[in-house]
Structure 1
Amino acid sequence: MPHHVTVGLDGSPESSAAAEWAAREALLREVPLRLVHADEWPVSAAIPVAGPDVRRRWADELLAAAAEELRQEYPSLEISTRRLSGRPAAALSIEAAEADLLVLGSRGLSGVMGFLLGSVGMETIGATERPVVLVRAPGQPGGRTEAAPEGRFGGVVVGVDIHHSCDPLLDFAFDEAARRGVRLRAVYGWSLPPFARDASALAAAEREMSPDIARRLTHILAPWRQKFPSVEVVERSPIGAPSQLLVHAAADAELAVVGRRIRRSPLGAHIGSVAHAVIHHCAAPVAVVAHD
C-alpha cells in the first residue's frame, strides 16, 4: 500500500495551516498528500448550514481549491482529494489507518467553536492508533503570531516516560528530527509526593535522585541514538510538572511529540493528562503517538 500524509479540511484557518504543514511534511517524507473532508463535520462559520447536496458541492469546491493552491506552491508534490461520509472522527480514523500520519487543525478548547473543533481532534486521536498532528493557525490565541518558516524554530521536543516502554513515540520523534536535520530535545519531568515538597526535601531529592533519573533517561534513548546517529540529542530531566515543562520546552520548537498509551476499554480510548495539556497549550504543532 502506498504511503501518504492525510490532512482533514473544514474550511477554517486552522485546517488551512494544517494543510500547509502537511504539504511540507509530505515533501520531507517524499510521499503524496491526500486532502479529505468529512460530510458531517460540525457546522461552523466556514461550513454552510444547508442541505446535503449543497454541503457536498461546498466540500468538493473546498478540496479542489485547496489542492490547486498547494499544487501551485509545491509543484513537485502529488496531491489527491477525497470526500468522506459519516462523522468526522470515525471517517478520519478509517482514513488515518491507510496513512503515515493524519494532520488536523486545532484551536484547543477556547470558545464554543474551539470546543467543537477541539472535540473532533480529540475524538479522532482516541479512535486511531496512527500518529496525529494538530496544527494551530498563525495569530490565534496560544498559536504562532505568524507563519513559521521551515527551520526557524528550535528543533523537535519529545516528552519521555522513563517508567514505560514508548518505542513508537521515540522512533517517530527521532525520525522527524532526522528528516529535518534538527536537534531533538528529550524531556522527562518528575516530582515528589505532596507531603515531601518543602524546600529541603526538593533540594535533597535533586541531589539524590536526579543522577539516577538522568541515567535512566540516557539508557532509554541509547538505542535510538544508535539508530539515528545524525540526530543531536539534548536530554533534560528536571523536577516539575511534565506538561508545563514540555509546553515551555516547545515554545520555540518546530514540533512537539507526546505519547498516549493504548488503553482498550468499554468507555473508549483515554488520552493522558500530559498529552491533553500539551495539545491545548502548546503553540507548536503537536504530534500524538499511540503506544502500548
Structure 2
Amino acid sequence: MPAPVIAGVDGSPESLAAAEWAAREAERRDLPLRLIHAWNWHPGPHGGEPANAAQRHLARRALRQAEERIRDCVPGVRVADQQVEGPATAALLKAAEQAQMVVLGSRGLTGLAGLVVGSVALGVADRATCPVVLVRAGEEAADEYLPAEDGGAGTRTGYRDVVLGLDINDPSDEVIEFAFQAAMLRRARLRVVHAWHPPSAFGLGPGDIALVNDPYRAEEWQGFLSAVLQVWRDKYSGVAVVETVVQEKATTALVRAASGASLLVVGRRRTGRPTVVRTGPVTHTVLHHVGCPVAVVPHH
C-alpha cells in the first residue's frame, strides 16, 4: 500500500479544516488518508486510568467528527484512523516518517493538554522528513477555486494559482517538483516568485560594478530564474508557469502573491540533526501571515 496522507486531528475547527483539505489532496493523489489523534498517557496517582479513559473518549470523538466531515465532503477517499500516545509533536514526527505528507491545522487547542496547535504544527513543520501543509480554520473546497462570474464561490471555475517561493541562489529540486506536481494535479497555473534586493555598495567586488544598475540586475535575475525552471517546464509541459521577479523583501512578495492562491509552497533545509530547527525567517513569517494553505517542503 502506498504511503498515506496523514492529518492530525484534535477536534478544533482548524484540525477539521485540515482533515478535509487532506482528504481532497489524498483523492487528487489517489492515496489513502490516515487521521491521527495524539494524546498523553497519564501514569498514576494523579492521572491514571480515569484521565486516560477521558482522553481516549475525546480522541474517539475528534476522529469521528473528522471522519463524518470527510464522508460528507470527500466520500470517495479511503480513510483510516489511529490513536497514538503523545506528546503530539513527537507522535506526528514519527508518523511522518511513513507518510507522503502531513496536514495540520495552524491554530487551536489540543484538547485536555491545552497546547496551542500552532506550536505543534510549527514543531512538525520544522523537523518532519516529509512535506507538511498547514491549514487555517474555515478553509473550504471553494477557497481553492477562482471566483464565479457573479463573484460568488464555486468549484467549477478552475483552481487558483499554486505559488512557489523560490530562492534561485539555492534552488531545491524537491521543493520545485512538489510545486509543479501540485499545479499539475489541480490543472492550475504555477506562479514562481523570486524576490531580490540590491547588495550594499560596500559588498560589491571589482567585477560587480556593472550590476549596480537595478533594471539590468532585475533582467539578470529573470534570466537565472528562467534557466532554473526550464528543465521543470520540459518535464511538466502541461503546467502553465508565470515567473515573477520583484525587488522587495521575500516575505512581502510571498504574502501578496499568496493572497489569491490555492496553495503556497516554500522550502525548509534538512539539517540531519532533529533538534536543530532550520525553518528560515521567510518561511516562519509566511506561516503566520498567509491565509491560504502553506506547504513546507524539506530539502537537502
- Structure 2 letter corresponding to 1:116: V
- Counterpart mapping for 1:167-178 below 5 A: 167-178=173-184
Aligned to 2:196: 190
Which digits, 9 at most, give the CA deviation of each residue in 1:96-137, with x for residues without a partner? Answer: 1111110000139xxxx9982211111111221200000001
Over the aligned positions, Cα root-mean-square deviation in angstroms equals 2.5
Report what 1:23 is aligned to.
23
How many angstroms does 1:193 deviate by? 3.8
Higher gyration radius (CA): 2
Q: Where do residues 80-95 of structure 1 align in structure 2 (5 Å cutoff)?
A: 80-95=80-95
Distance 2:197 2:259 in 1: 22
Structure 2 residue aligned with 1:229: 237
On the 8 A contact 1:107/1:114 being kept in 2, the answer is no
Matches within 5 A, 1:1-292: 1-40=1-40, 51-107=51-107, 116-138=116-138, 148-152=142-146, 154-193=160-199, 205-265=213-273, 268-292=276-300
- Quote how far apart the aligned CAs of 1:58 are: 1.3
Distance 1:129 1:157 in 2: 22
C-alpha distance 185-114 of structure 1, shift in aligned 2 (>3 A): farther
**Post-superposition offset of 1:160:** 0.5
CA displacement at 1:154 relative to structure 2? 2.5
* Structure-1 separation of matches of 2:274 and 2:267: 21
Aligned equivalents of 1:261, 1:83: Cα separation in 2: 30
- Contact 2:255-2:290 at 8 Å conserved across structures: yes
SS in 2 for 1:134: strand
Aligned residues: 269
Deviation at 1:2, TM superposition (A): 1.8
CA pair 65-117 structure 1, distance change in 2 beyond 3 A: closer
| 8 Å contact from structure 2 (residues 33, 80) kept in 1 | yes
d(CA) in 2 for partners of 1:3 and 1:118?
25
- C-alpha separation between the residues in 2 aligned to 1:133 and 1:277? 15
Does structure 1 conserve the Cα–Cα contact (< 8 Å) formed by 2:89 and 2:124?
yes
In structure 2, the CA distance between the partners of 1:105 and 1:70, relative to structure 1 (3 Å rule), is same
Q: Secondary structure at the match of 1:209?
A: helix
C-alpha distance in 2 between matches for 1:12 and 1:61: 11
How many percent of aligned residue pairs carry the same amino acid?
42
Q: In 1, distance between residues paired with 2:242 and 2:40?
A: 43
Tell me if the contact between 2:144 and 2:160 (Cα under 8 Å) persists in the aligned partners. no
Spell out, residue by residue over 1:217-269, the C-alpha distance to the aligned partner (whole angstroms, 9 max, x if none). 01111111111100000001110001110010010100000001112458522
Contact 1:89 1:127 in 2 (8 A): no
Q: Find the aligned partners of 1:115 and 1:238 in 2 and give their Cα distance.
A: 39
